[in-house]
Amino acid sequence: MELNLPEELPESCCSSEERKSHQSEKVKNNLTTRLNPIEGQIRGVKGLIERDTYCDDVLTQLSAIQSALNSVGKILLEGHLKSCVLERIQEGDEEVLDEFLVTVKKLMK
């Protein structure tokens, strides 16, 4: 699966002092564009539950939402690895590997 990450990566994604992301506007727009329909899908599922929709239909919608969220997560994870993690390793901060592994474990739950 191609993630379609823009060629440009943030200059300094997650500096250890600030722990703040510095995504490019292109990446932010991509993520926001992907998150907007998810937000609508969640409201839709809430409506399905309120209308006593058949459980299997609700579960199917939840599966679609999870898949869309995973897509957003993959984009963020790839950018984080290629910029933040790489930068911190190059600075000699190997603790970032443990942090990254904890993050991956959380994503794989």
**What total of structural domains would you count in the chain?**
1
CATH classification of the domain holding 59: 1.20.58.1000
Q: Is the dihedral of CA 75, 2, 45, 61 positive or negative?
A: negative
Distance of alpha carbon 106 from the chain centroid:
12
Residue 85: inside a domain: yes
Per-residue model confidence as pLDDT tens digits over 94-107: 999 999 999 999 98
Query: What count of residues does the chain have?
Result: 109
Per-residue model confidence as pLDDT tens digits over 54-72: 999 999 999 999 999 999 9
| pTM to 2 decimal places | 0.75
Angle at 34 between CA 97 and CA 27, to 5 degrees: 55
